[in-house]
Amino acid sequence: MHTYTLDIGIGPSQCEWPRENQYKLCIMRQINDRYIIVRQGGDIHEHNTFEWSEEFQVFWGNLSPTGILLEGCSPQPIAYGQTVIVNGDSSMGSATGEPDNSGKFTIINKYSKEVRVRINTKEGDSWTTYYVSPAEVAVGSTTVITSHSSVKIWFEVKAKTGSTTTEIITESHTVGFEGTTSRMISFKGDKSGGSGKWIDGPLPE
């Protein structure tokens, strides 16, 4: 199980304006072809570190009238390369298959109703939302969820850990982790007011 680390340096001239306007520093992982769930959202400092491991659990549910995903079964541990089945009695079986590094989860729906799939990931000692399927998994169908190593970084006022976002209105930066588990990026600028630019690597001396 890999643990990933992303270090983010923010120039002193770029810290004050986001803080005063209650912005958070947010990170979001690419799932399939989309960035949906805010992995983490935290206060802004000159030196920031995000860490995450690849420990997962999966369950199915249905949306309530207020948009909350209600659990339809107990969460089951799952790893890349494994498959879970939503059974006809609505339970979810234990994950099967040999874990690998494919980044793929397979869910088979044998229940009599369409379901939405949610995957949680471990953040420290607690579980947070990693993925919620944007559409129902049809009865009798198989869906494959692919987790990519790239993450998106940006500043956001309303976003918080586990929330869903469909639009990023501030400048964002995409960071790839192909072949590595540790990266460093920076946000630098000569003027205040959030006018900096994202760069790969540490802040210039």
Q: Are residues 92 and 152 in the same domain?
A: no
Q: What is the DSSP string of 84-135?
A: EEE-TTS-BPPPBS---SS-EEEEEE-SSS-BEEEEEEEETTEEEEEEE-SS
For residues 115 and 72, the answer to whether their CB atoms sit within 8 Å is yes
Mean pLDDT across the chain, nearest whole number? Answer: 87
Number of domains composing the chain: 2
Q: Which two tokens stand for residue 157?
A: 């006022």
**164 belongs to a structural domain:** yes
Query: In this structure, are strands 126-132 and 83-86 parallel, antiparallel, or unpaired?
Result: unpaired
Question: Which carries the bigger pLDDT value, residue 88 or residue 18?
Answer: 88
Mean pLDDT of 123-130: 81
pLDDT category, 68, cuts 50, 70, 90? low
Mean pLDDT of 108-121: 92
Select from 125, 147, 169 the last residue of a domain: 147
Q: Quick check: 134 pLDDT over 90?
A: no
pLDDT category, 189, cuts 50, 70, 90? confident
**205 belongs to a structural domain:** no
Condensed to tens digits (0 to 9), the pLDDT of residues 141-180 reads: 999 999 988 999 998 887 767 666 667 778 889 999 988 9
Single-letter code of the amino acid located at 12: P
Question: Which carries the bigger pLDDT value, residue 3 or residue 145?
Answer: 145
Q: Which two tokens stand for residue 92?
A: 């979810």
Q: Are residues 103 and 80 in the same domain?
A: yes
Range of the domain at 178: 3-53+148-200
Q: Are residues 136 and 62 in the same domain?
A: yes
pTM of the model: 0.82
Max Cα distance, the chain (Å): 62
Q: Are residues 75 and 131 in the same domain?
A: yes
What whole-number percentage of the chain has pLDDT above 70? 90
Q: Coil, strand or helix: which one is 76?
A: strand
Q: Which two tokens stand for residue 196?
A: 């900096």
Q: Which two tokens stand for residue 170?
A: 């501030």
Q: Are residues 92 and 12 in the same domain?
A: no
∠ Cα 129 135 140 (to 5°): 110
For residues 57 and 76, the answer to whether their CB atoms sit within 8 Å is yes
Q: Are residues 153 and 136 in the same domain?
A: no
What whole-number percentage of the chain has pLDDT above 90? 44
Q: Are residues 133 and 171 in the same domain?
A: no
For residues 85 and 92, the answer to whether their CB atoms sit within 8 Å is yes
The total number of residues written for the chain in this structure:
205
Q: Are residues 131 and 90 in the same domain?
A: yes
pLDDT, residue 193, reads 62
Question: Which carries the bigger pLDDT value, residue 11 or residue 35?
Answer: 11
For residues 192 and 184, the answer to whether their CB atoms sit within 8 Å is no
Lowest-confidence segment of 14-18, 78-82, 150-154, 177-181 by average pLDDT: 14-18
